[in-house]
Amino acid sequence: MTTFKLRKITHTLVSSGLLVTTLGISLIGCTSLCRPCVPRTQTNTGTVKNPTAKKNPCVPNPGSTNPCAGKKVNPTNITRPANYRPYQGNQADLRKYGKNFYNDTNLSTNGRSCQSCHQDGSLFRPTFMQPYPHFVAMARDLAGLSQIELDEMVQLCMIASMEAKPLMWNSRALAALTIYTTEIQQALPELHSNPGRSRNPCAIKDPRRINPDALKNPCALRQAPISER
């Protein structure tokens, strides 16, 4: 009697399609849960963001203007004075001081440093690698100069980018920044040709060089380290 009732109930469910629908839902759920090698639907299709990446404050947002655009500079404030004699000192010491000044936000009034705009050699135009004096678009646009010396360019950045007063022409700070920037100028081609020198601690690395089994997909083919191929 009990068997007859179960058969009757099953027949009724099959006829109504309810049992098929229920089984279908169960199978779909099992398909996604029981197949670890099938990628699941991503709910967030946005670009993965680097949690430690610092936004360059000197790069304008889309649709906005260059943060330095329109801030005209009096060319006499950035042009070498007559009988100009730069600060003289030990070159190694000046490079050391220059590196400190390059990262010093106290030189500005807006919390920026030279490093803020030029981290890892960014935002340098190709002309930067030419011997000074040479043409710089920023100097032309803001001060109307057809060419500029490197120490004059430092002064221009002090006024336009860092919104501060220019440095004293005979100061150690100006001499140190100029020497250190020259060092960056010389190292820039190598930095651009070898992106692996980037200091970003979150830069994506080849997992095969670190751990050939780093991929979490249990069905992924495991490859031998590059050094063993």
Let me know whether 107 and 21 are in one domain. Answer: no
Q: Does residue 202 sit within a domain?
A: no
Let me know whether 99 and 183 are in one domain. Answer: yes
Q: Which burial class, exposed, middle or buried, applies to 182 when counting CB atoms under 10 A from its CB (0-12, 13-18, 19+)?
A: middle
DSSP designation for 221: P
Please report the pLDDT score of residue 17 as a whole number: 54
Q: What is the pTM of this model?
A: 0.57
Please report the pLDDT score of residue 118 as a whole number: 84
Query: How remote is the C-alpha of 141 from its chain's centroid?
Result: 26
Q: Does residue 66 sit within a domain?
A: no
Please report the pLDDT score of residue 181 as a whole number: 94
- Contact criterion met (CB below 8 Å) for 136 and 127: yes
CATH of the domain at 126: 1.10.760.10
Please report the pLDDT score of residue 125 as a whole number: 82
- Contact criterion met (CB below 8 Å) for 127 and 134: yes
Give the structural domain span for 120. Answer: 75-195
Q: Does residue 50 sit within a domain?
A: no
- Per-residue model confidence as pLDDT tens digits over 71-105: 899 999 999 999 999 999 999 999 999 999 999 99
Let me know whether 27 and 82 are in one domain. Answer: no
Query: From first to last of its 229 residues, what are the pLDDT tens digits of the chain?
Result: 555 555 555 555 555 555 444 444 444 444 444 454 544 554 444 444 544 445 555 654 444 445 555 589 999 999 999 999 999 999 999 999 999 999 999 999 999 999 988 877 777 888 888 999 999 999 999 999 999 999 999 999 999 999 999 999 999 999 999 999 999 998 887 655 555 544 444 444 444 444 445 445 555 445 445 444 4
Q: What is the domain count for the chain? A: 2
